[in-house]
Structure 1
């Protein structure tokens, strides 16, 4: 990854601008989801919409601070916008809609390919694509071995998660994949203990997988 290098005096303004962009894109994404995917159930409550907007804005600002004007930043803004929406839907409906997962994957690949013209290396993009394939296959094998422990939505979501982890680096892919499994395990134990259920596949794993990418992006800079 190659940073385009913003001057220190302009960085706070840049970070704030990207944060505001996230605040705006979040409700736009919710409107599009409600219109194009009516089976999701329409718009969430006003309180939840404000919450997701704030979280998205904060994530966008954090990514802007982390990456600066790196050519790959638009891809991570997309991750913040769609990732938060996917996490919201997964928590409320235990569902990771295929159109949103596919949009995140294709959009991420598109932005990362475009980043090559902004200074990123082809090796970063190829590693990202390899990361998507590796994490997808890993989750698929685990789902085949233990179908009660993981849903196919999680398997599909592993592809865009692996894409971003792979773009960050091989070590990030390894640690991010492991962190995702650890967080999934912790959340599964807590949820099953609270609900007294025995179906781990009903536990929303999407938020943990997204959290793993965010954690690795900032812990392994």
Structure 2
């Protein structure tokens, strides 16, 4: 069954990724042939949704994860190229995920998970806000908003998952410091891809 879900997730990911690549193309300010391409977003999204479908199974959370990851890919690409996370994408991502999780809680008559997820979103956002204050030029307002998304999604499973996602994102950020970058971006870290990696890893491990 999970193998079928992985295949289905890959197929859905190809469609969603190709569609979401229009976001990348619209919001990128500078020409980037590979980043603009539909196949890049389709391939990454297909891989992420295949992994998520395989690990999550037939649960209501799967649709929410697919929504968040489908929007997360163009955000990660934009952040990698231009070191910014457009709030015109992040805020609907956050609102849609919160609404989806709230619907699940109503359907299951259990408000505890969504309340924990909301507190986790706040905690993750505050953590990244402190980083923005303490690390000059390292963290932007878009990173704070995306951290809230990561906190919300992983907080649905539990506080250890929130901590794990943020730790993985931080380690990924440190590793990116070792990657050669050109011009004024050489010492900056695109936290969007790091947060996406942290969130996806925790979803895959938590199942």
> Which TM-score band applies after superposition, normalised by the shorter structure?
0.7 to 0.9
Name the structure 2 match of 1:208.
194
| Counterpart mapping for 1:143-158 below 5 A | 143-158=132-147
**1:175, 1:97 → 2: CA distance?**
25
Taking a change above 3 Å as real, the CA distance of residues 47 and 148 of structure 1, as seen in their structure-2 partners, is closer
User: SS at 2:113's partner residue?
Assistant: helix
Contact in 2 for aligned 1:132/1:166 (Cα 8 Å)? yes
Q: What 5-or-longer segments of structure 2 have no aligned partner?
A: none
1:44 Cα shift?
Answer: 5.4
User: SS at 1:90's partner residue?
Assistant: helix
**1:52, 1:213 → 2: CA distance?**
18
**1:128, 1:76 → 2: CA distance?**
14
Contact in 2 for aligned 1:71/1:116 (Cα 8 Å)? no
1:219 Cα shift?
Answer: 2.8
Q: What 5-or-longer segments of structure 1 have no aligned partner?
A: 1-7
1:211 Cα shift?
Answer: 0.4
User: SS at 1:168's partner residue?
Assistant: coil
**1:44, 1:115 → 2: CA distance?**
40
Contact in 1 for aligned 2:101/2:114 (Cα 8 Å)? yes
After the TM superposition, which of the residue ranges 150-159 and 164-173 deviates more from structure 2? 150-159
Name the structure 1 match of 2:49.
60
Contact in 2 for aligned 1:180/1:209 (Cα 8 Å)? yes
- Structure possessing the higher radius of gyration over alpha carbons: 1
**2:16, 2:50 → 1: CA distance?**
13
Taking a change above 3 Å as real, the CA distance of residues 79 and 198 of structure 1, as seen in their structure-2 partners, is closer
**1:69, 1:43 → 2: CA distance?**
37
TM-score of the aligned structures, taking structure 2 as reference length: 0.87
| Counterpart mapping for 1:44-55 below 5 A | 45=34, 48-55=37-44
| Counterpart mapping for 1:103-142 below 5 A | 103-119=92-108, 121-142=110-131
Contact in 2 for aligned 1:64/1:73 (Cα 8 Å)? yes
CA-based RMSD? 2.6
Aligned residues: 207
| Counterpart mapping for 1:1-221 below 5 A | 8=1, 11-32=2-23, 34=25, 37=26, 40=29, 45=34, 48-119=37-108, 121-188=110-177, 190-191=178-179, 195=182, 200=187, 202-221=188-207
**1:208, 1:119 → 2: CA distance?**
32
